[in-house]
Amino acid sequence: MSQLQAEIERLFALGMDARNQPGAMDTFIAFRQALSRGELRAAEKRDGRWQANAWVKQGILLGFRLGVNEETRACDTFTFVDKNTFPVQPFTAANGVRIVPGGSTVREGAYLAPGVICMPPMYVNVGAYVDEGTMVDSHALVGSCAQIGKRVHLSAASQVGGVLEPVNATPVVIEDDVLVGGNCGIYEGTQVLLRAVLGSGVILTRSTPLFDTVRGEILRATEDAPLTVPEGAVVVAGARAITKGKAAEWGLSVYTPVIIKYRDDKTDKGVELEDLLR
């Protein structure tokens, strides 16, 4: 794999001139296949911290440079035009992935582990890693390079943002046994740690402060670290009063996510019913 990394880094450094390099497309295809098999990841946890694999993201960006727009047809009247380096990924029963009929798409260069369930319509973008037993529900998005753990439930219309550039930026991470409620949005490298629960409508971004009413803390992203939802936290959509200016006079408030408790037996019973769907 070190030889593949060295070649990807060399080709990426050439910019658009990489198109003229003999064997460049063969190198990229080998790289993309390794991504689709889950042998490479855009980010990994090392020494307790998630870190981006910059060269993997360089390889994905290389694919966009090498690719040309190509038309594909689902049927005579249903066409797509996209880079030919990132076609739709085919699946067979041997993959162990359940894809319910109804318009879902997984791009080549994404990895879905055995036991993943895809409810229509949903979309998984290049570089994403979706681990065993996770459910990606209807109208859910797993963005480019997002890292999704085991037994996660991405409920209907939840959006997990993608991060390709800058190449050293850590993508969105959702660790094992997390429940993401309907219409949630997790963006800009936010990390949701083990067994956390996000209630319906929670939005998390790099600029969003997270108010922990249990521990009396305000959690924020820093220059060196993303916003991180603690292990086992139960987060709901809340509001914070504006105390200055005309907004205060009008009694306005702004959205804010709030940790109202940490996961307990009652929480576990509330989410265990989803196992029947698997």
215-250 pLDDT, tens digit per residue, is 999 999 999 899 999 999 999 999 999 999 999 999
| pLDDT of 273 strictly over 60 | no
Which structure tokens are listed for 124?
A: 């998984």
| pLDDT of 29 strictly over 80 | yes
pLDDT band at 264 (very low <50, low <70, confident <90, very high): confident
**2-66 CATH:** 1.10.166.10
Residue 211, strand partner residues: 218, 258
* Percent over 90 (pLDDT), the chain: 88
Contacts of 260 (CB under 8 A, 6+ apart): 213, 214, 234, 235, 236
- The full set of domain ranges for the chain reads 2-66, 86-264
Query: Cβ atoms within 10 A of the Cβ of 188, count?
Result: 17
Asked which of 13-17, 70-74, 180-184 is least confident by mean pLDDT, the reply is 70-74
pLDDT band at 253 (very low <50, low <70, confident <90, very high): very high
- Residue 7: name the closest of 70, 83, 66 by CA: 66
Query: Cβ atoms within 10 A of the Cβ of 62, count?
Result: 27
Residue 106, strand partner residues: 124
- Confidence (pTM): 0.94
Using alpha carbons only, what angle is made at residue 252 by residues 228 and 229, rounded to the nearest 5 degrees? 10
Looking at residue 72, its pLDDT comes to 87
Q: Of all helices (H) and strands (E), which one includes residue 258?
A: strand 253-262
- With beta carbons less than 8 A apart as the criterion, state whether 211 and 238 touch: yes
Report which residue type is found at 266.
Answer: K
As a whole number, the mean pLDDT across the chain is: 94
| pLDDT of 1 strictly over 80 | no
Looking at residue 272, its pLDDT comes to 64
- With beta carbons less than 8 A apart as the criterion, state whether 27 and 8 touch: yes
Classified as helix, coil or strand, 16 is helix
Looking at residue 227, its pLDDT comes to 97
Mean pLDDT calculated for residue range 117-137:
97
Looking at residue 270, its pLDDT comes to 64
| 86-264 carries CATH number 3.30.930.10 | no
Q: Please give the Cα distance from 133 to 57 (Å, whole number).
A: 25
- Residue 223: name the closest of 256, 172, 189 by CA: 189
- With beta carbons less than 8 A apart as the criterion, state whether 45 and 131 touch: no
Looking at residue 209, its pLDDT comes to 97
- Per DSSP, helices labelled H in the chain are 2-13, 24-36, 54-66, 245-249, 265-271
> Could you identify the residue written with the tokens 């060196």?
224
Task: Report pLDDT digits (tens) over 39-65.
Answer: 999 999 999 999 999 999 999 999 999
Residue 228, strand partner residues: 191
* Percent over 70 (pLDDT), the chain: 96
Looking at residue 78, its pLDDT comes to 83
- With beta carbons less than 8 A apart as the criterion, state whether 196 and 180 touch: no
Q: Please give the Cα distance from 72 to 68 (Å, whole number).
A: 12
Q: Is 201 left (phi over 0), alpha (psi -120 to 50) or beta?
A: left
| pLDDT of 278 strictly over 70 | no
pLDDT band at 3 (very low <50, low <70, confident <90, very high): very high
Mean pLDDT calculated for residue range 108-137:
97
Looking at residue 135, its pLDDT comes to 97
- Residue 162: name the closest of 149, 152, 173 by CA: 173
Query: Cβ atoms within 10 A of the Cβ of 97, count?
Result: 18
- Residue 181: name the closest of 207, 160, 206 by CA: 160
| pLDDT of 269 strictly over 80 | no
Task: Report pLDDT digits (tens) over 163-219.
Answer: 898 888 999 999 999 999 999 999 999 999 999 999 999 999 999 999 999 999 999
